[in-house]
A = this chain, B = another copy of it.
Amino acid sequence: MSYFLGIDGGGTGCRAAIADGEGRIIGQGAAGPANISVETEGACANILAAARAALQDAGHGHLDELTAVLGLAGANVTAAARSLRAMLPFRRTRIVTDAVTAATGALGGGDGIVAAMGTGSVFAVQIGGEMRQYGGRGFVLGDEGSGAVLGRALLAEALRAEDGFAPMSPLLQAVLDELGGIEGVISFGFRARPAEFAGFAPRIVTGDDPAAERIFAGAVAEIRGMIDTLQAGRDLPVVFLGGLGTHYAARLQGLWRVRPPKGSGLDGALHLARQEA
């Protein structure tokens, strides 16, 4: 009898599920963070803890019997993924990014396009079981339409408005006041990490403020263009993921077959694990 382990791990925690050969989930577990590029050994410990908890939940089985697929934040750092892989006791181990497992889970193995719009952004196209990833190049040079990029655009617009280069708006004025005026915005801009820029995104996507709406409408148009490129004339279903996913889905509804995700990143990891067999 074959058992399959799926792991979905990121900066806040790590979830594990064990499925049998029919794909039925027979055990689940959870543990602490598993961002391997930040701390590989700590991630390894948490992955094992989550896997052991899932085995205990299932009531039988051993780590070295499992065919495992791990979707992990930071797995694009090849050296870290290799060193983690060497530490793990599973029968077979495949490590992919959490973006891959999230997209696989969202499409449930079917053809489609996934647009993950969170603090960063990344796209995936799956056709005939083959998945390819696009975008996701990070805060400085990419991550189009992401919360961090939207937040940075809001702060830049606040500075332009203070100089008269753009119209002032209630949200721009509020952001200037909160961060301590021009100097405060500039110094926040130099020190803030992407997640801190993304903290402004929820107030940008509501459509309440004219400056925010201009920024979000621009991002929606950009994402529309990128998804049109990925469609390449096809009519693939489109699934939006991430904290901003529903906002993009609402704006872009009707252009393509916009669908809710079929499953989670953990479902995606299990799906890939069963393919490994």
Interface on A for B, CB 8 Å cutoff?
A: 134-135, 137-138, 140-142, 152, 155-156, 159-160, 163-165, 182, 185-186, 189-190, 225-226, 229
Contacts and interface: CB of A to CB of B under 8 A. Distances in A.
Given A165-B226, A229-B165, A156 B135 contact: no
5 contacts: A134-B165, A140-B189, A140-B190, A142-B160, A165-B229
Contact of A142 (B135, B140, B156, B164): B156
A255 B141 CA distance: 33
A74 to B, nearest CB: 14
A134 B152 contact: no
B155 A141 contact: yes
Shortest 4 CB-CB contacts between residues of A and residues of B = A141-B189, A140-B189, A141-B156, A134-B163
Nearest to A153: B141
Nearest to A132: B163
Contacts of A138: 186, 189-190
Contacts of A135: 163, 165
Q: Interface SS of chain A: helix, strand, loop or mixed?
A: helix
B137 A152 contact: no
Nearest to A140: B189
Contacts of A141: 152, 155-156, 159, 185-186, 189
Contacts of A229: 164-165
B186 A137 contact: yes
A164 B135 CA distance: 10
A14 to B, nearest CB: 26
A141 B158 CA distance: 9
A185 B137 CA distance: 9
- Most-contacted residue by chain B among A142, A152, A156, A164 (CB, 10 A): A142
Contacts of A156: 137, 141-142
Contact of A159 (B137, B163, B189, B226): B137
Contacts of A140: 152, 189-190
Contacts of A163: 134-135
